[in-house]
C-alpha cells in the first residue's frame, strides 16, 4: 500500500521548479517520446489491421469461402442450408486469341441461376447482363482494358481438350460473346479469371458432370477454420480447401510484417523510457538533501523506493494514456488527414492504382491497444526500479555532510 506521506512527496517531486530546469527538459522529452511511440504503434497496427480486413473482405467477397472436390466418387450429400450455401461449379485453363493479343485465363463455370446469386454479379461495379447463357462470358475490368474489349464484343478461346480430325488431334476452340464486365478490386483476379456457363465449360473441356465440385459460402466466412473442420467431417472422402488455404502465404507474410513492425516500433518506447532512468537519476542527485532528511526523521528505505518508483511510473502511465488518445484519434481521422495533405501539398498519397483501395484503411483493435499499453507500462516500470533502489541506498549521514 502507498501511504499519504509517500503520495504527498511523490506529487511534490513531480512539480516543476526553476532550479530543476534540465531535469524538467528530460522529463518532458521522456513523456513526448513514450507518447509518440505508443501513438505510432497504434496507428501502424490500425492501418495494418485495416489492410488485412480490406484484403480479406475482397477475397471472401468474390471467391468461394470453401471448396469441396471429389476424389473418385461424385458428392451427393449436402450440408444443412443454415450452415452454408452450396453452388455447383467447375473450372479449366484456356487461352484467349484476339487481334489485340493472346492471354491465358482461368474459366469458371456456373449454372445461369447460380451466377446471378454470386457477390461478383451483385455489386455496383458490375456492368452488363447476368444471364450467363451458352457461349457467353463475363470478364474482368483489367482483362477488358488489356485486350481492348467491351460488352458485346466476341473473341475466340482455345482449350487444351483435343478434337479428332483427319489430320490428327487439334485443340478445341469456341467463340464467346462478352455479356458483362465485373470488377473485384483485385487486379490479379480481374485479369486472369472469367465466368462462363457450366454446361458450356464441361463441353468445352470434355469434362464429366461427376467432376463438378461444390463451392460453399458462409454467413461468417472469417471463422473459416471451424467451417473447414465441419466440412471435412461431412465429406471425409473429398478434398476440402478454403480461401485461407489459397492465400496462406500472403496472410503469413502480412502477419510476419505486422509482428516485425511491432518489434521495431517498440524500440521507440524503449529508447524514450531510458530517458526516465536519466531523469530519475538526476532527480535523486538533486534531492540528496531531501532524501537524507526523510531518512533522518524515520522514513523507511522501502518508502523512498516507492516514492521514486512512483515518479517514473506516473510519467510512463500518463505518457501512455496520452499516446493512446493521440493514436486512436489519428487512426479514426487518418483518411481525412491523408486528403488534407494530398490537397495542401498537391501530392498523391496512397494512390488507388497501386494499392487497389480507394481510401487508406484503418481498423482500431482493442486487443492491440491493450498489448501496446501493457508493454509500454511494463517498460516504464522496469526502468524506474534502478533509480528508486539507488535512492534508497543513500546514507543520510554522508548525504547531509556533503550538503
Looking up cell 490500425, which residue turns up?
46
289 to 22, 294, 396: CA distances (angstroms): 19, 9, 8
User: What does each C-alpha distance from 253 to 33, 52, 257, 272, 355 come to in angstroms?
Assistant: 30, 11, 6, 29, 16
pLDDT single digits (tens) 325-369: 999 999 888 888 878 777 777 777 666 555 556 677 888 888 888
Q: What does 79-123 look like in DSSP terms, one character per residue?
A: --TTT-EEEEEEEEEEEEEETTEEEEEEEEEE-HHHHHTSGGGSS
Place of cell 469461402: 65
3-state SS of the chain: helix, strand, coil percent to 5? 60, 20, 25
Closest CA to 221 of 48, 66, 26, 2: 66
Name the phi and psi angles at 313, rounded to 5: -65, -40
DSSP state of 3: -
Query: How is residue 219 annotated by DSSP?
Result: S
| Predicted TM-score (pTM) of this structure | 0.70
- Tell me: pLDDT of 396 over 60: no
Residue 206 zone, left/alpha/beta (φ > 0; ψ -120 to 50; rest): left
Cα–Cα distance between 270 and 349 in angstroms, integer?
30
E strand spans, 183-237: 193-197, 213-217
Which residue bears the cell 486472369?
Answer: 192
What is the share, in percent, of the chain residues with pLDDT greater than 70? 82
Q: Can you give the pLDDT at residue 137?
A: 92
pLDDT tens for 192-220 read 899 999 999 988 888 888 888 888 888 88
Pick from 196, 243, 230: nearest CA to 57 = 243
Residue 181, pLDDT > 90, answer yes
* pLDDT tens-digit map of 249-306: 777 877 787 788 788 777 777 777 777 777 777 766 666 776 677 777 776 777 777 8
Q: How far apart are CA 3 and CA 303, in angstroms?
A: 9
CB 79 within 8 A of CB 68: no
pLDDT of residue 247: 79
Closest of 99, 101, 171, 98 to residue 137, by C-alpha? 98
The length of the chain is: 403
Q: Which of 120, 232, 138 is nearest to 176 (CA)?
A: 138
Place of cell 480479406: 56
- The arithmetic mean of pLDDT across residues 393-399, rounded, is 61
Quick check: 375 and 368 in contact, CB under 8 A? Answer: no
Amino acid at each position: 500500500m502507498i501511504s499519504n506521506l509517500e503520495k504527498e512527496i511523490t506529487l511534490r517531486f513531480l512539480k516543476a521548479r526553476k532550479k530543476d530546469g534540465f531535469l524538467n527538459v528530460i522529463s518532458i522529452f521522456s513523456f513526448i517520446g513514450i507518447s509518440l511511440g505508443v501513438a505510432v504503434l497504434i496507428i501502424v497496427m490500425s492501418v495494418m489491421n485495416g489492410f488485412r480486413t480490406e484484403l480479406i473482405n475482397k477475397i471472401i467477397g468474390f471467391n468461394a469461402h470453401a471448396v469441396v472436390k471429389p476424389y473418385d466418387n461424385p458428392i451427393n450429400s449436402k450440408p444443412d442450408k443454415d450452415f452454408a450455401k452450396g453452388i455447383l461449379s467447375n473450372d479449366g485453363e484456356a487461352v484467349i486469341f484476339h487481334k489485340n493479343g493472346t492471354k491465358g485465363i482461368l474459366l469458371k463455370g456456373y449454372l445461369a441461376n447460380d451466377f446471378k446469386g454470386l457477390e461478383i454479379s451483385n455489386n455496383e461495379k458490375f456492368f452488363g447482363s447476368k444471364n450467363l447463357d451458352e457461349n457467353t462470358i463475363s470478364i474482368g475490368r483489367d482483362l477488358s482494358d488489356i485486350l481492348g474489349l467491351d460488352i458485346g464484343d466476341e473473341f475466340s478461346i482455345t482449350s487444351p481438350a483435343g478434337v479428332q480430325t483427319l489430320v490428327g488431334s487439334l485443340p478445341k476452340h469456341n467463340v464467346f460473346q462478352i455479356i458483362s464486365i465485373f470488377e473485384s478490386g483485385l487486379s490479379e483476379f480481374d485479369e486472369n479469371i472469367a465466368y462462363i456457363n457450366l454446361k458450356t465449360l464441361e463441353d468445352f473441356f470434355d469434362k464429366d458432370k461427376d467432376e463438378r465440385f461444390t463451392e460453399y459460402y458462409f454467413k461468417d466466412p472469417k471463422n473459416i477454420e471451424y467451417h473447414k473442420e465441419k466440412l471435412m467431417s461431412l465429406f471425409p472422402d473429398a478434398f476440402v480447401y478454403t480461401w485461407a488455404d489459397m492465400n496462406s502465404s500472403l496472410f503469413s507474410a502480412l502477419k510476419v510484417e505486422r509482428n516485425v513492425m511491432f518489434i521495431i516500433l517498440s524500440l521507440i518506447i524503449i529508447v524514450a523510457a531510458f530517458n526516465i532512468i536519466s531523469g530519475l537519476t538526476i532527480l535523486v542527485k538533486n534531492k540528496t538533501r531531501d532524501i537524507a532528511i526523510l531518512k533522518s526523521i524515520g522514513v523507511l528505505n522501502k518508502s523512498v523506493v516507492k516514492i521514486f518508483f512512483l515518479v517514473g511510473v506516473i510519467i510512463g502511465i500518463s505518457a501512455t494514456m496520452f499516446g493512446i488518445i493521440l493514436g486512436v484519434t489519428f487512426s479514426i481521422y487518418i483518411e481525412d488527414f491523408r486528403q488534407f495533405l494530398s490537397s495542401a501539398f498537391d501530392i498523391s498519397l496512397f494512390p488507388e492504382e497501386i494499392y487497389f483501395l480507394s481510401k487508406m484503411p484503418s481498423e482500431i483493435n482493442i486487443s492491440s491497444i491493450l498489448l501496446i499499453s501493457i508493454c509500454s507500462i511494463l517498460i516504464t516500470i522496469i526502468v524506474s526500479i534502478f533509480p528508486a533502489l539507488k535512492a534508497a541506498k543513500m546514507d543520510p549521514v554522508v548525504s547531509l555532510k556533503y550538503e
